[in-house]
Chain A
Amino acid sequence: MRLEELRFGTELIKRGFASMQKGGVIMDVVNAEQATIAEQAGAVAVMALERVPADIRKAGGVARMADPEKILEIMDAVSIPVMGKVRIGHFVEAQVLEALGVDMIDESEVLTPADEQFHIEKSKFTVPFVCGARDLGEAMRRIHEGAAMIRTKGEAGTGNVVEAVRHMRAIMGEIRALQGRSPQEIVDRARDLEAPAEILLETVKLGRLPVVNFSAGGIATPADAAMMMQLGADGVFVGSGIFLSENPERMARAIVEAVNHYDEPGIVAEVSKGLGDAMRGLDVHTLREDEVLQYRGR
């Protein structure tokens, strides 16, 4: 077989990679030690960053892509896929992560946006992208730009699951509401949603997003994770919730178990026992408007 006959970075490969993460937990890690804990706990991938969202929130200032040395250190430590975050619209940070060889890029509202108008043209990259969305229109626009995975935004770094629930219900509810409508009505709705009609038609036909949909932002306990799965998530991202809890190793394992057995309350109960304190939560309503991360990007 000749090498020139191989095709790299196609949509099928990018979406296929995302598909392999289903039913899994992707954990934020800031160093090799945490990455190893995440891998041993059964994470399907890790997100390499300099600070977890709760610490980014505390530190303030401009939050950027992590130091490449940090990312390489984490890539060396584990054999599971390593993802990295870039600022919204910062296509050069994305080029840098692709050059480093990260397995997936998160164009993330958790970092300070670099472009107020445009997201990255993701279809140009070989490496797949995941993007945040609060509602169906936002999800459709990101898929149109080439995202291979959607993650509902939630409100990162709060340990409060309320926004993750709001966003998952918004997306799944809107899809259900459109089922049974005529193609003409769906195209009409696409205009209201500022969504590409073709992708919306496909979504309604499938009864779900045409790419994998993970839940993120505020998941802090095994029960939180299982709830997001029951609401329709294909998997979950966990950030500060693990490494800011009292016993990260046990919490990480428990969240993996809870996602694996999300519809078996007996098992979720068992793994939730004696985990110690979860991360200290933050009431989303106490945040100033400029502290709310989910409004970044649209």
Chain B
Amino acid sequence: MDVKIGVLALQGNVSEHIRAFEGALQEMGFPGERVVPLRNADQIPDLDAIAIPGGESTTISRLIDKNGMYTPLTEFGGGIFATCAGMVIIAREVDDPRVHPLGLIGIGVQRNAFGRQKESFETDLPVKGLEFPFHAVFIRAPVAVSHDPGVDVLARIDAGIVAVTSGKHMALAFHPELGTDYRLHRLFLENLGIF
């Protein structure tokens, strides 16, 4: 199967996502160079999936608008894998007017829900669809505080919802790309019909 994934390369944890998707594809028996940095809107129609990485959501949101990527991203037909700042950007509602969300998943998101960097943490998180807990790293992370009926909640903690799928898309409040456990990347790809 020929699959091409673009990692939105405006700001943030881009190289880690590229490495993680390459690792996940390799584990699934699709080695090769199909993961590319996504820097220009005209690359979007060629892609099967897009990752929106962690970083500063206000900065990434501003650069999406500035680089003419807002409409092409909302019209994208493939799946989007959104982590941390990406979860803020893909949401329908955000508690901060400086972020212009794509509105692709019916969730309401609160930025920096746990506080400042000293409140960042890691923990073993049970996730629906995974046999064993996922070691999740939360860095100035958001949470979803509301969701539509069509959104499938995969994980929640006291503060709110931290993992969801909706149609082809997946949004996570934490950073699966920082480790070498690619189960969530694989779950996302399998959901797209790639396995």
A residues at B contact (CB < 8 Å): 1, 3, 5-10, 12-13, 16-17, 19-24, 39-40, 42-45, 79-81, 98, 101-104, 126-128, 256-257, 260
Given known A-B contacts A19-B16, A22-B14, A101-B118, A42 and B59 have beta carbons under 8 A apart: yes
Contacts of B66 in A (CB 8 A): 257
Q: Measured between C-beta atoms, what is the minimum distance from B34 to chain A in Å?
A: 22
Produce 1/0 per residue, B96-131, CB < 8 A to A. Answer: 101000000000000110011111111111100000
Chain B 139-157 residues near chain A, CB threshold 8 A = 139-140, 157
Instruction: Say yes or no: A16 contacts B175, CB within 8 Å.
Output: yes
Residue of B nearest to A8 (CB): B121
Partner of A103 from B111, B124, B140 at Cβ < 8 Å: B140
Residue of A nearest to B120 (CB): A13
Interface residues on B, range: 35 or more
Q: Please tell me if B54 contacts chain A, counting CB pairs below 8 Å.
A: yes
User: Which of B58, B120, B137 is within 8 Å of A80, CB to CB?
Assistant: B58
Tell whether B12 is near chain A: CB-to-CB under 8 Å.
yes
Contact B121 A13 (CB under 8 A): yes
B11 touching A6, Cβ below 8 Å: no
Complex CA gap A81/B58 in Å reads 11
List chain B residues, Cβ under 8 A from A16.
120, 137, 139, 175, 178
Contact (Cβ within 8 A) B59 A12 = no
**Are A44 and B121 closer than 8 Å at their CB atoms?**
no
Whether the pair B140, A81 counts as a contact (CB closer than 8 A) is: yes
Residue B157 contacts which of A1, A13, A128, A260 (CB distance < 8 angstroms)? A1
Q: Which residues of B contact A (CB under 8 A)?
A: 9-16, 54-56, 58-59, 62-63, 66-67, 84-85, 96, 98, 111-112, 115-126, 137, 139-140, 157-158, 175, 178
* A103, B117: Cβ atoms closer than 8 Å: yes
* Residues on the A chain within 8 Å of B111, using CB: 79
Measured in the bound complex, the distance between the Cα atoms of B117 and A10 in whole Å is: 12
Chain A residues, CB < 8 A from B116: 81, 101-103
How many Å lie between the Cα of A42 and that of B63 in the bound state? Answer: 8
Chain B residues with CB under 8 Å of A12's CB are 122, 137, 178
Bound Cα distance from A6 to B118, whole angstroms: 12
Q: Do residues A6 and B123 form an inter-chain contact, with CB atoms below 8 A?
A: yes
Q: Is the CB of A43 within 8 A of B178?
A: no
Instruction: Report the bound CA distance from A40 to B121 in whole Å.
Output: 28
- Which chain A residue has the least Cβ–Cβ distance from B162? A1
- Kindly list chain B residues whose C-beta atoms are within 8 Å of the C-beta of A45: 56
Residues of A within 8 A of B59 (CB): 24, 42-44, 80, 256
Contact between B117 and A6, CB atoms less than 8 A apart: no
Contact B121 A7 (CB under 8 A): yes
In the complex, are the beta carbons of B122 and A81 less than 8 A apart? no
B139 touching A20, Cβ below 8 Å: yes
Assess A79 versus B58: contact at CB under 8 Å? Given A13-B120, A17-B139, A42-B63: yes
In the complex, the chain B residue whose C-beta lies closest to that of A98 is B118
Q: Is B98 touching A79 in the complex (CB atoms < 8 A)?
A: yes
Q: How far is the CA of A102 from the CA of B119 in the complex (A)?
A: 11
Chain B residue at smallest Cβ distance from A10: B122
Tell me which of A1, A80, A256 has the highest count of chain B C-beta atoms within 10 A of its own C-beta. A1
Question: Given contacts A19-B16, A22-B55, are A44 and B11 in contact (CB under 8 A)?
Answer: yes
Q: State A73–B18 Cα separation when bound (angstroms).
A: 38
Q: Is the beta-carbon distance between B178 and A19 smaller than 8 angstroms?
A: yes
How far, in whole Å, are A294 and B11 apart by their CA atoms in the complex? Answer: 28
Given A13-B121, A81-B117, A24-B139 contact (CB < 8 Å): no
CA distance A260 to B66 in the complex (A): 11
